[in-house]
């Protein structure tokens, strides 16, 4: 069998920090064949509202002195982190029901925001609340406590924004349901 480029490549990642959060368990868990919701759907809506309001801390390795210089000038940052509670044995999922919902069509893992990925690197854009030494306080990060931080980038609408974004109906349905639930509070 002929080797391919990805068979020969190897990457090494070292966390630059970790997340300190009140979220102890992920909302979604990876089963052998699909995703499973940790709670019933009505609790998921409350969970998302709580996450949106929660301020957590990104504790950056103090040995990386100077790495945060200037970050305080940005209103939002991109946080790339590793969902460390998903065991490697559960990263073989290729297709899932989005958010573990059987009422939604099954999709390839790269068409979802599932944490159960071959390389489970997640990314969130969050408002930067405060910088205190090597700790960034952010609002709305859905990372569980202890999640390793892979990278942080400043968010710039002109650089990272996209115009005329298209999403499938099922993803729009999830967004709409979560927004409707927020309006009920």
Task: For the beta carbon of residue 175, count every other beta carbon within 10 angstroms.
Answer: 10
CATH superfamily of 11-158+165-183: YaeB-like (2.40.30.70)
Per-residue pLDDT reduced to its tens digit, 25-60: 766 555 555 555 545 555 666 666 677 778 999 999
The Cα 128–Cα 73 span in angstroms is 9
Nearest CA to 81 among 10, 157, 141? 141
User: What's the pLDDT score for residue 148?
Assistant: 97
Residue with more model confidence, 15 or 158:
15
Q: How many residues does the chain have?
A: 185
């Amino acid at each position: 069998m002929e080797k391919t480029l990805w068979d020969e490549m190897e990457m090494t990642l070292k966390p630059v920090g970790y997340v300190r959060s009140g979220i102890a368990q992920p909302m979604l868990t990876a089963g052998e064949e699909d995703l499973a919701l940790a709670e019933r759907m009505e609790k998921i809506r409350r969970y998302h509202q709580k996450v949106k309001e929660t301020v957590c801390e990104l504790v950056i390795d103090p040995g990386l002195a100077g790495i945060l210089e200037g970050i305080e000038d940005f209103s939002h940052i991109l946080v790339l982190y590793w969902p460390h509670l998903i065991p490697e044995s559960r990263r073989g999922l290729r297709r899932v029901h989005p958010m573990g919902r059987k009422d939604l069509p099954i999709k390839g893992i790269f068409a979802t925001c599932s944490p159960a990925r071959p390389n489970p690197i997640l990314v969130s854009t969050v408002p930067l609340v405060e910088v205190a030494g090597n700790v960034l306080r952010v609002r709305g990060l859905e990372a569980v406590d202890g999640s390793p931080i892979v990278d942080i980038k400043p968010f710039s609408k002109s650089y990272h924004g996209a115009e005329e974004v298209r999403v499938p109906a099922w993803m729009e349905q999830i967004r709409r349901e979560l927004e409707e639930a927020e309006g009920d509070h």
